[in-house]
Amino acid sequence: DTGVSQDPRHKITKRGQNVTFRCDPISEHNRLYWYRQTLGQGPEFLTYFQNEAQLEKSRLLSDRFSAERPKGSFSTLEIQRTEQGDSAMYLCAALGKTNTGELFFGEGSRLTVL
Amino acid sequence: GENVGLHLPTLSVQEGDNSIINCAYSNSASDYFIWYKQESGKGPQFIIDIRSNMDKRQGQRVTVLLNKTVKHLSLQIAATQPGDSAVYFCAEGHLGNEKLTFGTGTRLTIIP
């Protein structure tokens, strides 16, 4: 157990619909990351937060994507007007307190856009 | 469950043997490297890391070797067990900014 929970684990939606994923790290994790992983590939960085501040966003994060971490604890990733190319595993990760750079990943939210 | 890496490079090793997984990284400015293990349906799990001022680091049954000259990273797993079967990813970045760049994974299969 990495202490990072993601919900839902699976989401199937029709093209054009909006979806939202939630990530709950344990309270000691002040840095939170979102990655996307497509089949056969390694995870790709999307964005990260230091407490409630969103410090960096990848070019992969189009304007249809928005991430928030309103109270510096849980985070949400919303995708508006989903496209088939959005189908992927969305992974949340939190930086541990050991100062090693170790990221603790959640189990991911698998999105399928029909 | 999730089936990660259908068309990844594969490596099959007899249980009890040692395995070596290789990775070529891309950015000569990277100063921090990590190996992750990903089982089907799960998120990546940290195995071992190494900083660029080192060329070797050992953990429990695992050793990471770093060759900065040729930008090559390897993961050695000793006395492999069935539970070692998974997809393994190397990742590079900078300590203090964990915006990691992951390499192409390798699927390791341990043959009983």
pLDDT one-digit tens code per residue, B34-91: 999 999 989 999 999 999 999 999 999 999 999 999 999 999 999 999 999 999 999 9
Nearest Cα neighbor of B5 from B98, B85, B92, B112 is B85
> What pLDDT sits at residue A100?
65
Q: Does B4 score more than 50 pLDDT?
A: no
Q: Does B2 score more than 70 pLDDT?
A: no
Q: H/E element holding A33?
A: strand A31-37
Here the tokens at position A101 are: 């750079």
Strand partners, B88: B37, B106
> What pLDDT sits at residue B7?
61
Q: Which residues of B touch A91 (CB under 8 A)?
A: 43-44
Over chain A (114 residues), the average pLDDT of each successive run of 10 is: 90 98 85 93 94 90 93 93 97 78 90 97
Here the tokens at position A109 are: 């939210």
* Residue A72: DSSP 8-state: S
> What pLDDT sits at residue A16?
97
The answer to whether the CB of B18 falls within 8 A of the CB of B77 is yes
Nearest Cα neighbor of A109 from A94, A83, A93, A89 is A89
Minimum-distance CB partner of A110 among B2, B32, B101: B2
Strand partners, B35: B48, B90
- Mutation target among B26, B33, B99, B104 for the A interface, most CBs of A within 10 A: B99
Rounded CA separation A24/A4 (Å): 6
Question: Are A48 and B45 in contact (CB < 8 Å)?
Answer: no
Rounded CA separation A6/A21 (Å): 7
Rounded CA separation B35/B74 (Å): 9
Q: Which residue has the higher pLDDT, B95 or B31?
A: B31
> What pLDDT sits at residue A97?
64
Q: Which of residues 6-45 of A touch B (CB under 8 A)?
A: 31, 33, 37, 39-45
Distance from CA of B43 to the nearest CA of A (A): 4
